[in-house]
Amino acid sequence: MSTTETINQASEAVSSLTLKTGEQKDQEEYRYAHLLPHFDPSEKFPALTPFEHVDPGSRALKHADPLAFLKNAARVVQLTPRLGTEVRGVSLLSLDGDGRDQLALEVARRGLMVFRDQHEFIDAGPESYLEWGRHFGRLHVHPTSGHPKNHPEFHLVYKDANSTFNFEVDESITTTVWHSDVSYELQPPGLTTFFLLSVPSTGGDTLFTSQASTLRRLSAPFVAFLRTLSAVHSGVEQAAFSRSGRRGGVVRREPVEHVHPLVRRHPVTGEEALYVNRQFTRRIVGLKKEESETLLNFLYDHVSKAGDLQARVKWEPGTVVLWDNRVTAHSAIVDYGELKERRHGLRITPQAERPIPALEGLELPTL
């Protein structure tokens, strides 16, 4: 090795040391440093066990005014005719049990609700998030994503100036990946709460679609056929991706696969929704390979191009978003990489019931 090379290497080492110190300082000063993603490769969790889910929205059905929780709102805007409501002037943190039940019912009906100016909620911290989430169901612990130290119940999304890889755009022509969260679980999530602790100055919006609406667009005989079908949802690729080291490198629970109906019925509203997503659905049970692939690709294509059934959330500091994971799908938009700004999100993810087939008596095979 030449002297110049040695000097270059030494100066690179020094500058990376300086960078690291700067980085650490930045993280120490960051107001939500205690909620940064933490990956402990020795952390392991047992398989999830089945449990009985009582949906909080069902309690609000009997309420004389199930929209009472919005009565003091400064502004309520329907984001689109079928999907999404934006609310200003209601403090989520102030909602009592009854108000939270009404909220769950309204999120089930609208698919998505966006609450602005919730700084109090966001700053209330992890114990408060736990108390909030447990009202709606047993909290899901994600098998692979980063979580705050000592709080495996919160799923984090995180990028900042030091994020070294941008596989979303390096490996694909789009960053859009429509999905319904962890649909490979036996009891996937229902009412989900998500907020950004750090919002980039532009970009990083989130896309949503109504899977009740995408289903309704299809013809009656076609829907009748879909109701007879079920599909395998798999967590295997997500775990393999994590093991590849590109996303934390942690697999805390061995991946699972489960079979769910293609058309599920919401336990409270009775509404039917399409329940397939490109990220986790793998094959339709009982169909030949080509039939399954063609049908799934048709459905994914329909979901992704139905802009008339979608809503796009633009984040502001203090925004808290809730969606019903049973009747909607969503996708992150990763368009802010070049800005080198921080985007830090936290998800509270209560599990719900095992998906109920829209076709009564549909037999779901176990794997």
Ligand X SMILES: O=C(O)CCC(=O)C(=O)O
Cα separation of 355 and 227, whole Å?
13
Which of residues 98 and 168 has its CB atom nearest to ligand X in the complex? 168
The yes or no reply on residue 332 touching ligand X (CB under 6 A) is yes
Contact, 182 vs 309, CB < 8 A?
no
Which of residues 84 and 345 has its CB atom nearest to ligand X in the complex? 345
Residues 302-331 touching ligand X, rule: CB under 6 A, are: 330
Residue type, 91: S
What character string, x for contact with Fe ion (CB under 5 A) and - otherwise, covers 171-190? ----------x---------
Residue type, 239: A
Contact, 38 vs 148, CB < 8 A?
yes
Q: Which residue, judged by CB position, is nearest to Fe ion in the bound state?
A: 181
Q: Which does 271 bind (CB under 5 to 8 A by kind): ligand X, Fe ion, none?
A: none
Q: What secondary structure letter does DSSP report for 359?
A: S
Q: What are phi and psi of 3, to 5 degrees?
A: -60, -40
Q: Which does 198 bind (CB under 5 to 8 A by kind): Fe ion, ligand X, none?
A: none
Which of residues 153 and 181 has its CB atom nearest to Fe ion in the complex? 181
**Shortest gap between Cβ of 23 and ligand X (angstroms)?**
22
Q: Is 183 helix (H, G, I), strand (E, B) or coil?
A: coil
Half-sphere exposure of 272 (CA within 13 A, CB side): 17
Which of residues 142 and 264 has its CB atom nearest to ligand X in the complex? 142
Which of residues 98 and 335 has its CB atom nearest to ligand X in the complex? 335
Pick from 90, 112, 157, 215 the residue near ligand X by CB under 6 A: 157
Token pair 């039939």 in the structure block, residue: 291
Take residue 266 and report the two structure tokens written for it.
């919401």
First-last CA distance in the chain: 57
**Shortest gap between Cβ of 180 and ligand X (angstroms)?**
9
**Shortest gap between Cβ of 238 and ligand X (angstroms)?**
12
Contact, 100 vs 133, CB < 8 A?
no
Contact, 90 vs 103, CB < 8 A?
no
Q: How many CB atoms lie within 10 A of CB 67?
A: 14
Q: How many CB atoms lie within 10 A of CB 149?
A: 12
Q: 356-357 and 263-265: which strand pairing?
A: antiparallel
**Shortest gap between Cβ of 148 and Fe ion (angstroms)?**
18
What character string, x for contact with ligand X (CB under 6 A) and - otherwise, covers 270-309? ----------------------------------------
Pick from 92, 347, 350, 353 the residue near ligand X by CB under 6 A: 347
Which of residues 266 and 330 has its CB atom nearest to ligand X in the complex? 330
Pick from 190, 345, 350, 355 the residue near ligand X by CB under 6 A: 345
Take residue 228 and report the two structure tokens written for it.
């007879």
Q: Which does 182 bind (CB under 5 to 8 A by kind): ligand X, Fe ion, none?
A: none
Q: Is 98 helix (H, G, I), strand (E, B) or coil?
A: helix
Contacts with ligand X, residue ranges (CB under 6 A):
155, 157, 181, 194, 206, 330, 332, 345, 347
Contacts with Fe ion, residue ranges (CB under 5 A):
181
